[in-house]
Amino acid sequence: MKKVNDSNMLGKFLNMELNDALIKNPDISYFQIEEEDIVRLIPARNRFAHKGNFGHALLIAGSRGKMGAAVLGAKACLRAGAGLLTVHVPACGEVIIHVALPEAMTKVDREYNFITDIISTDEYNAIAIGPGIRMEKSTAAVLYDVLKYSNKPTVIDADALNILSEDKTSLQLIPPGSILTPHPKEFDRLTKPSESAYERLQKAIEMAEKLKIYLVLKGAYTSICTPNKQCFFNPTGNPGMATAGSGDVLTGIILGLLAQSYDPLNAAIVGVFLHGLAGNIAADKCSEESMIASDIIDNLGQAFMLKNSKEIQSQQVTD
Can you give the residue ranges of every domain in the chain?
Answer: 2-318
pLDDT score at 264: 98
Residues 82-121 as b/e (b if ≥16 CB within 10 A, e otherwise) read: bbbbbbbbbebbbebbeebbeebbbebbebeebbbbebeb
Query: 225 and 208 in contact (C-beta within 8 Å)?
Result: yes
Rg over alpha carbons for the chain, rounded to the nearest Å, is: 19
Backbone angles phi, psi at 300, to 5 degrees: -65, -35
pLDDT score at 26: 67
H or E, element range at 76:
helix 67-79
The DSSP string of 78-111 is HHTT-SEEEEEE-GGGHHHHHHH-TTSEEEE-SS
Sign of CA dihedral 183, 186, 191, 192: positive
> Side by side, which strands form the sheet with 223-225?
2-3, 29-32, 230-233, 223-225, 214-217, 179-180, 154-156, 126-129, 56-60, 84-89, 105-108
In the Cβ-directed half-sphere of 240, how many Cα atoms lie within 13 Å?
A: 24
User: Residue 72's closest CA among 95, 98, 92, 101?
Assistant: 101
Q: How far apart are the C-alpha atoms of 219 and 242, rounded to whole Å?
A: 9
pLDDT score at 17: 72
pLDDT score at 22: 62
In the Cβ-directed half-sphere of 192, how many Cα atoms lie within 13 Å?
A: 0
pLDDT score at 177: 98
pLDDT score at 145: 97
> How would CATH label the architecture of 2-318?
3-Layer(aba) Sandwich (3.40)
User: Residue 59's closest CA among 186, 151, 154?
Assistant: 154
Q: How far apart are the C-alpha atoms of 136 and 159, rounded to whole Å?
A: 10
pLDDT tens readout for residues 286-317: 999 999 999 999 999 999 998 776 444 545 44
Of how many residues is the chain composed?
319
Report residues of the chain scoring pLDDT below 50: 310-312, 314, 316-317
pLDDT tens readout for residues 63-80: 999 999 999 999 999 999
pLDDT score at 21: 59
How do strand 2-3 and strand 84-89 relate by DSSP bridges?
unpaired
pLDDT score at 309: 64
